[in-house]
Chain A
């Protein structure tokens, strides 16, 4: 059975702090790993990672995958209150299969 563990489950920081969110996974025939940001309701896509060691960046957010150790991290630098959300990690197995979502990390950024 596929497993996804995200840590921490919740995190409270102050604006300007840097945070690192973790995702470890066990997925048969791993294909890719996705990060989503969920504010209120609709998850929105952040990154898709398929190769080990290659950092993907989007503004203050960056993410990297380690396929040997089966984990990924999502970094957010200079956090802002608008970064407050649940961050979901979702590894994917072979083509045509579903995404398996983690429980998410609830990030709260206080002013």
Chain B
């Protein structure tokens, strides 16, 4: 365990559903990240939060909506997803934004049907 916990571990949802992914860290880190890992593709950074403020959004479609209510929690709200959004979604945290050593959660394996 890295100290970063993601729930659920697996999620199957229809294209009209709304669901949320949750990430929690109690490492005292100030930066949190969402990454997407599709089959046979590199990890892609989606969002960066630093001190609960979104500081980076890498052209992610609006059907993905992040929320960071405090420095320990990060959510990814999903609605009207497409089958190509099926992937492993990884949350990570680091002491500060820009500190390279990030700790990753176990990820949520999302399947959109």
Contacts and interface: CB of A to CB of B under 8 A. Distances in A.
Partners in one complex: yes
Interface of A: 4, 31-32, 34, 36, 40-45, 48, 88, 90, 92, 95-104
B88 A41 contact: yes
Contacts of B102: 45, 99
Interface of B: 2, 4, 40-45, 48, 56, 58, 88, 90, 97-98, 100-107, 109
A42 B2 contact: yes
A31 B98 CA distance: 10
Contacts of B103: 45
Contacts of B107: 41-42
Contacts of B2: 42, 44
B42 A42 contact: no
Nearest to A106: B40
A41 B4 CA distance: 12
A88 B100 CA distance: 14
A77 B107 CA distance: 29
Contacts of A43: 43, 90, 104
B42 A99 contact: no
